[in-house]
Amino acid sequence: MAAMRKALPRRLVGLASLRAVSTSSMGTLPKRVKIVEVGPRDGLQNEKNIVSTPVKIKLIDMLSEAGLSVIETTSFVSPKWVPQMGDHTEVLKGIQKFPGINYPVLTPNLKGFEAAVAAGAKEVVIFGAASELFTKKNINCSIEESFQRFDAILKAAQSANISVRGYVSCALGCPYEGKISPAKVAEVTKKFYSMGCYEISLGDTIGVGTPGIMKDMLSAVMQEVPLAALAVHCHDTYGQALANTLMALQMGVSVVDSSVAGLGGCPYAQGASGNLATEDLVYMLEGLGIHTYHSCLSMLMFSLVLRAYHDLPHPLTCFSKGVNLQKLLEAGNFICQALNRKTSSKVAQATCKL
């Protein structure tokens, strides 16, 4: 792949002046959105080429420097099932842990949870689904049985003061069951929330959803779980991810999962694309005048205090300006070169010479 250009973009007029920010009231759109960067885990897990531990660590460090506030780092799953995640302990231990940035890791079972905590994890992620068949095929049990497994993790997490995030897969459709009722998604989400997950990400696992279905699903879930605890995780398999995400934002959701360079494929549709690309999401959010970081005053104060006493590499500007699109593009370019693949981000395609 050709070298990255420094200027963003290679355009007749600089992107900053091209980029207009909406002045109209957008109704219920949130003022800030927290982006959960899933490239290093969900993205890489679904890429066929294996990348080395140093490459994974460098990617995550670059994403930290790009100003992302949550970076899903790895998965404590057996390498027998997911070879790409075999180096989970080395990755978690090897990355720079910037203050104010969370580095959650997937823990499919108690054994994985214990290994994650031993490796220094402060936040873990559990993975459920709104589909019985999908749960059966994926983790060989029913939804009810999966809750029992997760309960063990949640109790252990509570004792160890570890935050737990939940995923509900197949929120807009299932490769086996087809339609998934919004009521079922609401039921599973409510269960996760009541068991102790601080946030639940609702995933359109196979990307079949369209904005109306997103609205139906969120309407049901919002009856059961506070909006602030909800996130969306859209796959772009059918090109619907950003439109679905826009709908979620219009409903008031303020946490969005995405993957740098749109990494990841879809195991259920060969050749299909994967996650929503973080670059394209950031582009839209900035155009909508939405801040792309999730920082509270206390975090800002904390970093000010730290900087008074330590020589920190992490620039304060990351907190004040949100995600730095240029640095994000550099991270995307880096991982695509390592994977020997083209980016799936349209913003990255538009700003790179081919």
Q: Which residues bind its own copies (CB under 8 A)?
A: 9-15, 17-24, 26, 172-173, 178-179, 206-213, 215-216, 219, 236-240, 242-243, 245-247, 266, 269-273, 277, 280, 283-284, 286-289, 345-347, 349-354
Sign of CA dihedral 74, 227, 277, 13: negative
Per the CB < 8 A criterion, the answer to whether 103 and 123 are in contact is yes
Residue 214 is encoded by which pair of tokens? 């997103």
Nearer to its own copies, 57 or 234 (CB): 234
211: Cα separation from own chain's centroid: 19
Nearer to its own copies, 72 or 279 (CB): 279
> Parallel, antiparallel, or unpaired for β 123-129 and 255-258?
unpaired
Count Cα atoms within 13 angstroms, Cβ side, for 306: 15
Per the CB < 8 A criterion, the answer to whether 115 and 89 are in contact is yes
- Cα 277 to Cα 274: distance, rounded to the nearest angstrom: 9
- Where helices occur in 50-204 by DSSP H, the ranges are 53-65, 88-94, 110-118, 132-139, 143-159, 182-195
Nearer to its own copies, 143 or 247 (CB): 247
Q: H-helix or E-strand containing 203? A: strand 199-204
Q: For the CB of residue 184, give the shortest distance to its own copies in the complex, in Å.
A: 13
Q: For the CB of residue 308, give the shortest distance to its own copies in the complex, in Å.
A: 38
Is-catalytic flag, 266?
yes
Per the CB < 8 A criterion, the answer to whether 41 and 106 are in contact is yes
- Cα 266 to Cα 275: distance, rounded to the nearest angstrom: 9
Q: For the CB of residue 166, give the shortest distance to its own copies in the complex, in Å.
A: 23
Nearer to its own copies, 156 or 220 (CB): 220
Q: For the CB of residue 140, give the shortest distance to its own copies in the complex, in Å.
A: 24
Q: For the CB of residue 110, give the shortest distance to its own copies in the complex, in Å.
A: 35
Nearer to its own copies, 19 or 93 (CB): 19
- Cα 336 to Cα 321: distance, rounded to the nearest angstrom: 26
Q: For the CB of residue 196, give the shortest distance to its own copies in the complex, in Å.
A: 30
**Which is the catalytic residue, given 174, 234, 266, 336?**
266
DSSP letters of 329-344? HHHHHHHHHHHT----
Nearer to its own copies, 245 or 292 (CB): 245
- Of the candidates 335, 333, 327, the residue with the CA atom closest to the CA atom of residue 348: 333
Catalytic positions, written as ranges: 266
